[in-house]
Amino acid sequence: MSDVTTPQPAADAATSAEAALNARYGTHWNTALPAWNATLDTLLAHRSVRAYANRPLPAGTLETLVAAAQSAATSSNLQTWSVVAVENPARKARLSAFAANQSHVRETPLFLVWLADLSRLERVAARAGAPLEGVHYLETFLVSAIDTALAAQNAVVAAESLGLSTVYIGAIRNRPEEVAAELGLPPRVMPLFGLCVGYEDETKRAAVKPRLPQQVVLHREQYDAASQQQGIGGYDDVFAAFQTSQGLDDAGWVARSLGRWRSRESLHGRDRLRDALNALGFELR
């Protein structure tokens, strides 16, 4: 793998690109590539990291991540998201308890909670004495959630370009009202997901996880369901081999994925997300 912390262009770009792509798919890449660069190296080398070193972040890291996040596109420039930066150990511990007790939420030096935030425009409208009926629709929540995700992903790329690691924490949606209360959120602000940011514990280094082959996710002109089955079969083997190589249980991707959404109970409380959103003030008309 290339060293993602190095901002120089790869010394041997073709080799670094193919190595990164081979790791990303667990198969040999055999498609022509455009001129390669260090940003592509950073993107391809992503790993979700769940073990962090006890090491502070450089000055200005948070502000740089937020500047990257704010540089992402945002629908009609509405900027309907906010982020809470949590560094207080007691608060991280409480948030961890709300998120399936994941230890990395406690151990990360910086825990970012990304918020779909319709309340800011509401306050602006209230000061102006203006109506804001649009805020009550499902579309409006969806715009806010998408824009929050675009922003957060830019922050992830920025962090990884700086040699930091990250992992998203969707489990804060297990108990969204309690997370909202902990962070003092006003109505119509939804804690969408968390993000750990820190230096990886190099003694517990995570590997690049292989993904589905491109033929399964990329379609030309129209959606093609028929051609996906073969690719999924091959991937199931690639994924099981990857799991074994990491000392994890060797269930394939199909068995693991079906287990995740088998039943209402397998959603770990998130089957009540619609109720939770209503309680947080989102009508979702």
Binding residue for a copy of itself, selected from 99, 105, 135, 280, defined by CB under 8 A: 135
Q: Which is nearer to a copy of itself, 167 or 201 (CB)?
A: 167
**β strands within 107-147, DSSP E:** 110-117
Q: Which is nearer to a copy of itself, 25 or 241 (CB)?
A: 25
Give yes or no for residue 104 binding a copy of itself (CB under 8 A). Answer: no
Sign of CA dihedral 132, 134, 138, 144: negative
Residues 6+ apart with CB under 8 A from 50: 102, 103, 104, 167, 196, 206
Residue 214: CB atoms within 10 Å? 11
Binding residue for a copy of itself, selected from 1, 14, 15, 67, defined by CB under 8 A: 67
Q: Which is nearer to a copy of itself, 123 or 205 (CB)?
A: 123
Positions 230 through 269 that interact with a copy of itself (CB under 8 A): 232, 239, 253-254, 256-258, 260-264, 266-267
Give me the least distance between CB of 253 and a copy of itself, in Å please: 7
Positions 149 through 208 that interact with a copy of itself (CB under 8 A): 149-150, 152-154, 156-158, 161-162, 166-168, 170, 173, 183-186, 189, 192-193
Sign of CA dihedral 22, 26, 30, 34: negative
- Contact criterion met (CB below 8 Å) for 52 and 108: yes
Q: In this structure, what token pair is assigned to residue 27? A: 């198969």
Amino acid, res. 1: M
Cα separation, 278 vs 268, in Å, equals: 19
DSSP string, 187-205: TTEEEEEEEEEE-B-GGGP
Positions 73 through 92 that interact with a copy of itself (CB under 8 A): 73-79, 81-88, 91
What string of H, E and C letters represents the secondary structure of 118-144? CHHHHHHHHHHCCCCHHHHCHHHHHHH
Task: Identify any residues that bridge with 166 across adjacent strands, giving them in sequence order.
Answer: 48, 197
Give me the least distance between CB of 75 and a copy of itself, in Å please: 5
Positions 5 through 34 that interact with a copy of itself (CB under 8 A): 7-9, 21, 24-25, 31-34
Give yes or no for residue 142 binding a copy of itself (CB under 8 A). Answer: yes
Give me the least distance between CB of 139 and a copy of itself, in Å please: 4
**Backbone phi and psi for residue 196, each to the nearest 5 degrees, phi listed first:** -80, 140
Q: Which is nearer to a copy of itself, 65 or 107 (CB)?
A: 65
Give me the least distance between CB of 16 and a copy of itself, in Å please: 12
Give yes or no for residue 94 binding a copy of itself (CB under 8 A). Answer: no
Give me the least distance between CB of 204 and a copy of itself, in Å please: 18
Task: Identify any residues that bridge with 112 across adjacent strands, giving them in sequence order.
Answer: 85, 195
